[in-house]
Amino acid sequence: MNSSYNVKAMNSKAVDLNLLSTFHPRETFAQRSALVQAFKFFILAVVWLSIIFVVAAGAGLTFAWKAPFVFNELMPTWFPAIDKQIFKNLADIHAYLAPTVVVATIIPVNALFMVLCERKFLSLLTVRIGPDAVGPNGGLQTLADALKLLFKEDTVPKNSDPILFFLAPALFFAPSMVVFLPLLAVAANRLGGFIYADLDISLIFILGFLSLGTMSLVMAGWASNNKYSLMGGLRAASQAISYEIPLILAIISVIMLSGSVNLFEISEAQAGGILNWNLLGNGELPRILNLFASTNGNFFDGFVTLVYVTLCVSLFLIFITASTAEVNRIPFDIPEAESELVSGFNTEFSGMKFALFFLAEYTNLFIASAIASILFLGGSHLPISIEAEQALYSALTNLNISLPVIGTFNGMFEGLNFVWVITSITLLVKIYLMFLIAIWVRATLPRLRQDQLMEFGWKYLIPLTLAILFLMAIILEYIKS
């Protein structure tokens, strides 16, 4: 009897292996090498980014820049019977609303690409193919998923708080859209109406709005009437309290280093190449060569510079760690740990509510990567000398384009400024490099336990950041003197 059972088990196992070989032949896996998949991923990324930042962002930025010319110069010519003051008022209204319209266009499409990028890059890191059924090389998979979420049934749990249940996803998504504006001002090089999005206290503005996301997660957990969701919301609150402290302390250190809380000014202060990035001490790195001198007391200057650059690199790593915890990414995804809490705070959400949480999470990750790029990696500046960068900017300023039929379109295509193309692409490349590193971390590290998460934050990260802040203040005073 046992031998017959074993034979049947072996036969069933053989059938299963045959089925597996039918769906995924071994020869196919052998042909699809990692290099081929990486090349396909690169082509897919180029296509998607072209759609996002050439069609959506590029058209939006160009229109935002030239719309005042249309309202003030062309419209009065086309409609002379209408008072010019009306067109002027329309131009002013557009100048304030244009950044919001561009952000509302970019965020959904960008989030779709980020989801697809993570799935494809994660499959490369784990030796898989990833989504490849919908569209060329799976390029339309996330679009199909988004359409599915749009038409899914919107369920509300029994005995839940309906008002808070409906408000939580919107309150979680809204701050992500608002804090995108100062980042867009940096990327667009304060082009046209985007100068209004360049706030003097943009860094404080971003930190203040992002803190609202934690409140909405607690609200979502409480309103769901689900113990797993409530536990996820409470975990999100405790995690935010723990890791916002080292995050803000690291940012304060960068503010001391840059002397400003304006993101655009922090980015401008790092122009001139990699050595001027805050990551490497904002131009102080060459003084480390004084370690090899033995006269005039220069050795101490070299030693101070070595400590200073080490502190800057440490601040970057602390910022990355704390921001990863703030956006609930692995290994800090405790609020939505699938193996423990089903899906955490968003367990009961479906349809568009779930889509809003999804959009906000990836947008927050994009924002965290953007802030890291601006604070530490030179922002929107190329890793070249100031002279070379200024020469490139000059070549892209005051350009005139004449088309075969319409010419310059009554002067609309005269005096064009395409510096924003270089600054946007530069910042975008840095942001997506940080995003790929976040995916790499997800594929490498396991999820921490709740006690490990809290212990690491309170016992190690916060004291370390306080010590770095104290030493940074002393060293900066020494450098200034």
Nearest-angstrom CA–CA distance, 460 and 149:
41
**pTM score, whole prediction:** 0.82
> Which of these, 347, 334, 335, lies nearest to 226 by C-alpha position?
347
Mean pLDDT, the chain, rounded, equals 78
pLDDT confidence of residue 55: 65
Q: Which helix (H) or strand (E) holds 180?
A: helix 180-187
> Which of these, 306, 206, 304, 277, lies nearest to 247 by C-alpha position?
206
Residue 60 has pLDDT above 70, yes or no: no
Of 126-140, 174-188, 299-313, minimum mean pLDDT range = 126-140
Nearest-angstrom CA–CA distance, 232 and 282:
40
Residue 270 neighbours by CB under 8 Å, 6+ apart: 276, 277, 278, 282, 378, 379, 381
Q: pLDDT category, 10, cuts 50, 70, 90? A: very low
Calculate Rg over the CA atoms of the chain: 26
Residue 393 has pLDDT above 80, yes or no: yes
- What is the average per-residue pLDDT within 405-432? 75
Helix pair 180-187, 162-178: axis angle to 10 deg:
20
- What is the average per-residue pLDDT within 401-420? 67
Q: pLDDT category, 25, cuts 50, 70, 90? A: low
Residue 310 has pLDDT above 60, yes or no: yes
Contact 344, 265 (CB under 8 A): no
Residue 456 has pLDDT above 70, yes or no: yes
Select the more confidently predicted residue: 353 or 434.
Answer: 434
Q: How far is CA 407 from the centre of its chain?
A: 39
What percentage of residues in the chain have a pLDDT greater than 70? 81
Select the more confidently predicted residue: 280 or 12.
Answer: 280
Residue 12 has pLDDT above 60, yes or no: no
Of 47-51, 67-71, 386-390, minimum mean pLDDT range = 67-71
Nearest-angstrom CA–CA distance, 200 and 36:
47
Q: pLDDT category, 7, cuts 50, 70, 90? A: very low
Q: Which helix (H) or strand (E) holds 91?
A: helix 84-125
Summarised one tens digit per residue, pLDDT across range 217-246 is 888 888 888 888 888 888 888 888 888 889
Whether a cis peptide bond, with omega within 30° of 0, leads into 131 is: no
DSSP 296: T
In total, the chain counts a number of residues equal to 481
Of 40-44, 327-331, 364-368, 429-433, minimum mean pLDDT range = 40-44
Buried b / exposed e along 139-170 (16+ C-beta atoms within 10 A): bbbbbebbeebeeeeeebbeebbeebbeebbe
Of 45-49, 120-124, 211-215, 403-407, minimum mean pLDDT range = 403-407
Output the CA–CA distances (angstroms, integers) from residue 329 to 11, 19, 65, 310, 362, in the order listed. Answer: 43, 36, 36, 26, 10
pLDDT confidence of residue 413: 66
Summarised one tens digit per residue, pLDDT across range 102-134 is 777 788 888 888 888 888 888 888 777 777 787
Residue 317 has pLDDT above 90, yes or no: yes
Select the more confidently predicted residue: 413 or 44.
Answer: 44
- What is the average per-residue pLDDT within 190-218? 80
pLDDT confidence of residue 447: 83
pLDDT confidence of residue 466: 92
pLDDT confidence of residue 1: 47
What are the helix and strand counts (H, E) for the chain? 20, 0
Residue with tokens 């005995």: 159
159: left (phi over 0), alpha (psi -120 to 50) or beta: left
Residue 401 has pLDDT above 80, yes or no: no
pLDDT confidence of residue 164: 84
Residue 248 has pLDDT above 70, yes or no: yes
Buried b / exposed e along 67-104 (16+ C-beta atoms within 10 A): bbbbbeebbbeeeeeeeeeebeebbeebbeebbbebbe
Determine how many CB atoms are found less than 10 A away from the CB of residue 41: 19
Which of the residue ranges 22-26, 112-116, 153-157 has the most confident prediction, judged by mean pLDDT? 112-116
Q: Quote the longest CA-to-CA distance of the chain.
A: 99
pLDDT confidence of residue 464: 92
In order, the DSSP letters of 211-276 are THHHHHHHHHHHHTT-HHHHHHHHHHHHHHHHHHHHHHHHHHHHHHHHT-S-HHHHHHTT-SSGGG
Nearest-angstrom CA–CA distance, 129 and 372:
30
DSSP 469: H
Contact 102, 184 (CB under 8 A): yes
Residue with tokens 């004291």: 463
Q: pLDDT category, 327, cuts 50, 70, 90? A: confident
Summarised one tens digit per residue, pLDDT across range 362-387 is 888 898 999 999 999 988 888 888 88
Nearest-angstrom CA–CA distance, 67 and 90:
10
Summarised one tens digit per residue, pLDDT across range 280-309 is 888 788 887 777 755 555 777 778 888 888
pLDDT confidence of residue 9: 45
Residue with tokens 């009065």: 76
DSSP 71: I
Q: pLDDT category, 404, cuts 50, 70, 90? A: low
